[in-house]
Amino acid sequence: MDATPPLDAAGRLSAALSAATPSQRLQAAMSAGTHPRDEYVAVLVERCAIEPDLNVRETLTWALMRHPAHITVPLLIDEAGSTTNQARSQALHTLSKIRDPAGWAAITPEVLNDADDSVARTAWRVATVLVPEAEEAELATMLVAHLGRGERDVRLSLSRALMELSDAAVLALLENAAEKGDEPRRVHAHATLIMRESPDVGFDAALFDAELAVLLSSQ
104 in a domain, yes or no?
A: no
Confidence of residue 131 (pLDDT cuts 50, 70, 90): very high
Mean predicted confidence (pLDDT) in 84-108: 97
74 in a domain, yes or no?
A: no
Mean predicted confidence (pLDDT) in 7-17: 94
174 in a domain, yes or no?
A: yes
Determine the pLDDT at residue 213.
85
- On whether the CB atoms of residues 112 and 122 are closer than 8 A, the answer is no
* Gyration radius of the chain's alpha carbons: 21
- On whether the CB atoms of residues 124 and 150 are closer than 8 A, the answer is no
45 in a domain, yes or no?
A: no
Domain that holds residue 173: 136-219
**Interval 16-61: pLDDT, tens:** 999 999 999 999 999 999 999 999 999 999 999 999 999 999 999 9
Please tell me the number of Cα atoms within 13 Å of 212 on its side-chain side: 7
Helix, strand or coil, per DSSP, at residue 1: coil
- On whether the CB atoms of residues 75 and 45 are closer than 8 A, the answer is yes
78 in a domain, yes or no?
A: no
Residues written for the chain: 219
67 in a domain, yes or no?
A: no
Determine the pLDDT at residue 2.
53
Non-local CB neighbours of 64 within 8 Å, separated by 6+ positions: 33, 41, 44, 45, 48, 72, 76, 94, 98
Answer whether residue 194 shows pLDDT above 50.
yes
Q: How many CB atoms lie within 10 A of CB 44?
A: 29
* Region of poorest pLDDT, from 13-27, 75-89, 200-214: 200-214
Domain count of the fold of the chain: 1
- On whether the CB atoms of residues 150 and 162 are closer than 8 A, the answer is no
- The whole-angstrom separation of Cα 6 and Cα 167 is 58
Answer whether residue 126 shows pLDDT above 60.
yes
- On whether the CB atoms of residues 177 and 189 are closer than 8 A, the answer is yes
- On whether the CB atoms of residues 89 and 119 are closer than 8 A, the answer is yes
Determine the pLDDT at residue 35.
96
CA proximity to 204, closest of 150, 161, 153: 153
Q: How many CB atoms lie within 10 A of CB 134?
A: 7
190 in a domain, yes or no?
A: yes
Report the amino acid identity of residue 131. V
Mean predicted confidence (pLDDT) in 4-27: 91
Q: What is the pTM of this model?
A: 0.90
47 in a domain, yes or no?
A: no
- On whether the CB atoms of residues 143 and 113 are closer than 8 A, the answer is no
Answer whether residue 3 shows pLDDT above 90.
no
